[in-house]
Amino acid sequence: MKRPQGIAIVVALTVILLLSVISGLIFSRTMNDLRTSRDNTAMAQAVNLARGGAVAASALLSNEVRASLESIVRSANPSMGGISTSDVWYYGGNSTQPIPSTVATRLALLASSLQTSVNTLICSRNFAPDGSGATVQVRIFFTTAAACGQAFPSAARLPTGYVVDNDNNPSTPLTRQVQGYALPYVMVVTASPGTPYQRNVLIQGEYRFLLTNGSFARYALFTNQHRTRSNTGVWFTGQTLFDGPVHTNERFRFSFNPWFGGYVTSAGCTNAGVSSCSGSISPGAFFGSGSNTTFLSPSQMANPNAPSWTSGGNTHAPVFDGTPKVNWQESFIPMPPNAQDQRNAATSGGLYLNFNVTRLTLYAGDAAGVRPSCNSAGVCTPATSTHQYIEVCRTSACTGSDRILYRYAADGILYRHNGSWPGVVERVGFNGMIFAEGSIDNLTGPSRTDSSNPNTAPPALTSFSQLTVANAGTGRNIQIRGDLKYQNPACSGTPTRTGSTVSRPTCNNLSADNILGVYSQDGDILLGDGTNSSLQDLTVHGVLMTSRGEVSVQNFNTIQPRGSIRLQGGIIQYAYGAFGLFNSSTGQMTQGYARQFTYDPRMQDRAPPYFPTTGVVQVSVATPLSFGQREQVY
């Protein structure tokens, strides 16, 4: 009995031992698998974070870095990569073709300055999602110098910059037009998901950008003299909300907390003349209200990007939300001396009107001239139109030979009505320029079906139309008496403020093509008809500019309150035009129109046909191109 029992005990112990060994092996294998799975997950997270960081940094290159790039090229400092010469090539000399060595040398200076700006933007930034506990650091090398305290990666190469695109024609007199350049870069993204695991992704690419002579259309507001024609200073107040670039050749006045969502610049002239400063240059701005005002130079501001001044218990602190924010010493930007470019464009490829125009009506329609119908909510049927119509009236009766009707479709062939459509061909390849040698007494779109509701006004411009309406002559004005609306607007809404928070308009239709410019060389641009029957809430989509006059409401100080001027675009003017009068105690409008302005962000890169240019270099497009990425373990 004892022998079998002993054998059973040995067998049992052996089995237990084997099971223990097997369990231990299984447990060890399971733990190894768990560790491997954890490691693989962490490594995959790190790699994905790094790739996401690269995407975020690329978006930064298209936006904030682009703003820094433009600031540098406009600095007029060649040692920093700025453009100060009148050479045909922005970076490449004055020869028929760009000189590669000159391009490389000048772009190297630009790359060095841009590197400093980029380091400031990204070196202390964590590109990981908020609350993730992860860390994503980015370094961008435009030069082989260290960036963010890290050396240039030895496995990478950085070629010289070069010209990639240009519109200059060697067979014609050389002028600056659109020119494209490329700055090679290396991006290194280091990511950790909050564990000891870390991965690096290296991207080789090129930062390609287009330079062009900037258009005045890019401004939400531009004034040569920041005062009225009667020499009264204009103050920006807490009711002021501009969501695009703002510039004056003189100096701003700030009361309380006006808000600016774009780059704000001033040249600092005490008295701006037609082509240069007539007075002295004293950069800075006025702050205050009533009799409590002061002038602060940039050196007197505790923070030039967020200046403030307190007096009488009130703090006056404009809010600058743009990128870049503000420049108190921008170069003087002269306004055009004449409208010859617009006149030439109209005679060679547009519509030239050698007479005073009583009424100029723009409207969208079908082949039979039927206009869309728009309900009280602004929904129009049909949503798109096939033809753009231009009706020119010599007299108020607008009949017989005093009425000329044109139309064109997306093919650009301009027809003149001769009793029936399609009419006779007036111009093949219509360029969108309409020029009058006299006044335009009424520039308007189609009439509303409900005079009190601007939503019921059919569109003035079809979705494909790009037009500039211009005139010249001393005292020759352009008066906008009716709504001018896009069939396909880029934005909806206006900037609104709730407490200290400003909500921007919704501008999610930036691929829209319809654009309107209105330009008067010597006269004013007047809004409304100057009577108490002027339209309620006049709506204007387009960029309005006058080189020697002002954009103002007709009889702003005598007509009853008529709601708001709802502008989607920008205003460029020699002197600051008035829109209405308000009760300073209650803020209620007492005469004229209030302002509801929405900047059209498409104007950063685009402009109406033959719209006047500033002579200042503009970065119209900036795009990072990636030629591939690889993971690095260093």
In the three-class reduction of DSSP (H, G, I as helix; E, B as strand; rest coil), residue 629 is classed as strand
pLDDT value, residue 2: 59
DSSP-derived 3-state class of residue 174:
coil
Which residues make Cβ contacts (< 8 Å) with residue 481, sequence separation at least 6? Answer: 442, 443, 444, 528, 529, 534, 535
**pLDDT attached to residue 426:** 96
Task: Count CB neighbours of 304 within 10 A.
Answer: 20
> Residue 148 has which token pair?
């963010």
Q: What is the pLDDT of residues 253-304, one digit of tens each?
A: 999 999 999 999 999 999 999 999 998 999 999 999 888 899 999 999 999 9
d(CA 189, CA 46) in angstroms, rounded, equals 10
188 vs 69: CA distance, rounded Å: 20
Q: Which two tokens stand for residue 21?
A: 């060994």
The Cα–Cα gap between 187 and 475 comes to 57
Strand partners, 544: 518, 571
CA angle 75, 77, 79 (to 5 degrees): 135
By three-state DSSP, how is residue 103 classified?
Answer: helix
Cβ–Cβ contacts within 10 Å for residue 71, how many? 18
Residue 288 forms beta bridges with which residues? 293
pLDDT at 175: 45
Q: For every residue of 288-322, which 3-state class applies, written as one string?
A: EECCEEEEECHHHCCCCCCCCEEECCEEECCEECC
Q: What pLDDT, on a 0 to 100 scale, did the predictor assign at position 36?
A: 54
Query: What is the C-alpha separation between 540 and 542, in angstroms, rounded?
Result: 6
| C-alpha span between 445 and 443 (Å, rounded) | 7
* Averaged pLDDT in 10-residue chunks for the chain of 634 residues: 70 74 66 53 72 88 88 85 81 83 94 95 90 89 95 91 70 57 94 81 92 91 95 90 95 94 95 92 93 93 95 92 90 93 96 97 97 96 97 96 97 96 96 97 97 96 98 94 97 91 94 97 96 95 97 94 95 95 75 94 92 87 84 54
pLDDT of residue 170: 42
Residue that is written with structure tokens 């093919």 in the block: 411
Q: State the pLDDT at residue 78.
A: 87
Domain ranges of the chain: 36-214+619-632, 219-327, 340-611
What's the mean pLDDT when you consider all of the chain? 89
State which H helix or E strand residue 431 sits in: none
Rounded CA separation 37/46 (Å) = 14
Closest by CA to 479, choosing from 405, 404, 531, is: 531
Q: What sign does the CA torsion over 70, 73, 75, 81 have?
A: positive
d(CA 322, CA 67): 10
Q: What residues are paired with 186 via a beta bridge? A: 141, 204
| Per-residue pLDDT at 193 | 86
- Please return the burial class of 568, using the count of CB atoms within 10 Å of its CB with bins 0-12, 13-18 and 19+: buried
Measure the CA–CA gap between 346 and 352, rounded to whole angstroms: 5
> What is the pTM for the complete model shown?
0.82
CA 164 to chain centre: 24
Amino acid letter, 193: P
